[in-house]
Structure 1
Amino acid sequence: MKKRLLLCSCLLITISGFAQKKSELFAQIDELKTQISETEQELAKAKREISSSNAKAEALETENVSLRDANATLLKNLSNFSELSKKNSENVTKTLAALERKEKQLSGISDQIASSDSTSIVVLTRIKQTMGENSNANVADGAVVLSSSLNKLFGSDTGLELTDEGKLWLSQVAKVLLASPNRTAQVEGLNITGEFGVTYDQANVVTKELVNNLQVPNDRIGTSVKDGNFKEGISISLQPDYKGFYDKAKSDLKATN
């Protein structure tokens, strides 16, 4: 009887011990499950964060590529702008230099024109000093023009021999012309009838008198006739040296180009 009680007691103790260990095992299993669940949650969170970080990294890489491309484009544009600016600067410099040359050319031509105008004033002064205030001189297109009637020069409309008054007048014209070496003379016969033969002969008589008897160089005198437009007579135009003016302007243009 005692042995049975002892055996039952031992069995109960053993069963009680197993029950306690089983309970502890269940508790440990529940704790492990909780830890596993928490770990899985943390792992999922970590995966989400990694995925987000990867997405951000890819976005940053894409943005970086775009920035590099934009930077390369900007540098290229800056280089092109710098080159264009350099060319524009060179063009401006060339244009200013060309304008300066043109200004010098125009200044030279203006000086020559001014000099010619001044010479005309000088010639008019000489005419007044030599021929008096009633010398019948005027200025037209830069030339100083002296005129005389056919009666004064030849005694009639058709005469071909100079009068004493005509010779005196031509001698005064010769003095003015010889004192103005930068002027040439154009002897023009003015006719109102259209019959230029006699008028041309009269102009030739005047030219011969100036050249042969009054020592005016032949290369400084020209002879012509024209319609006098209701005026007849002889006019002597003391003209600037147009050829010399042209040659000088042409030389200055070449020198400044």
Structure 2
Amino acid sequence: MKNNLLVIALLVITTSVYSQRKSDLIAEIDNLKSKISEVEQELAVAKREISSSNAEAEALKSENLTLRDANATLLGNMSNFSQLSKQNSDNVDRAMAALARKERQLSGINDMISANDSTAIVSLTRIKQTLGENAKVSVEGGVVVISNSLNTLFGSDTSDKLTEEGKTWLAGVADIIKSNPSFKAEVEGLNITGEFGSTYDQVASVASELVTNLEVPAQNIGISAKDGNFKEGINIRLQPDYKGFYAKAKESAKATQ
């Protein structure tokens, strides 16, 4: 009987101990489950944060690529602008240099024109000294014009034979022409009738006297006849050697390039 009670007691104790351990294990399992749930929740939060960080990283990467492309484009544009600015500066420099050359060319031409005008004015004074203060002399556009009437030169408006007075006058004109080799002389006949045959004979007679008897170089003499617009007579036009003038102007232009 005692043995039975002992066994029963041991069974009760064992059962009690087992029940206690089972209850502890269940509590521990519940605790672990709770911790696992917390960990899972934290893991889910971490995953969301990682996903968000990855999205932000991708966005920053894309933005960085865009900024790099924009920066490269900006640098390219700045380089192009710098080159364009340099080209514009070079173009301005070339334009200014060309303008300076043109100014020098024009200055040289103006100097030559002024020299011709000055020569014409000086010649006007010398002509009056040679032909007398009553001589009909004027300057028109740099051209010295010495005039005389048909009556003085030929005795009438239809004759082409020079009078002695006319020859004396032409001798003075010849001296003037020969003393101004830079000028070309043109014998111009003015006619009011419109019949230029006799006018050409008269200017030819004057030119012949200048070349044949007064030794004026033939290449320095030209002749012409035109309507005198109610005026008739003979003009000796002393004008610059335009061919030589333009040759000098061309040389001056080349020299300043």
Query: Normalising by the residue count of structure 2, what TM-score does the alignment of the two structures yield?
Result: 0.91
Instruction: Name the SS of the counterpart of 1:157 in structure 2.
Output: coil
Instruction: Name the SS of the counterpart of 1:22 in structure 2.
Output: helix
Matched residues in 2 for 1:5 and 1:222: separation? 172
Within a 5 Å distance, the mapping from 1:71-150 to structure 2 comes to 71-150=71-150
RMSD of aligned alpha carbons: 1.9
Instruction: Name the SS of the counterpart of 1:90 in structure 2.
Output: helix
Could you give the per-residue CA deviations for residues 152-197 of structure 1, whole angstroms, max 9, x where no partner exists?
1122122233223222222222222222121111111111112222
Query: Normalising by the residue count of structure 1, what TM-score does the alignment of the two structures yield?
Result: 0.91
Matched residues in 2 for 1:62 and 1:161: separation? 108
Q: Which runs of 5+ in 2 are unaligned?
A: none
Could you give the per-residue CA deviations for residues 14-56 of structure 1, whole angstroms, max 9, x where no partner exists?
2322222122112211211111111111111111111112111
Instruction: Name the SS of the counterpart of 1:193 in structure 2.
Output: coil
Within a 5 Å distance, the mapping from 1:1-257 to structure 2 comes to 2-257=2-257
Q: For residue 91 of structure 1, what is the amino acid of its counterpart?
A: N
Matched residues in 1 for 2:195 and 2:7: separation? 180
Matched residues in 2 for 1:7 and 1:199: separation? 177
Matched residues in 1 for 2:121 and 2:109: separation? 19
Q: Which runs of 5+ in 1 are unaligned?
A: none
Instruction: Name the SS of the counterpart of 1:83 in structure 2.
Output: helix
Matched residues in 2 for 1:254 and 1:167: separation? 45
Matched residues in 2 for 1:190 and 1:13: separation? 166
Aligned residues: 257
Contact 2:149 2:232 survives alignment (8 Å) = yes
Report the alpha carbon displacement of residue 63 of structure 1 after superposing the two structures with TM: 1.4
Q: For residue 236 of structure 1, what is the amino acid of its counterpart?
A: I
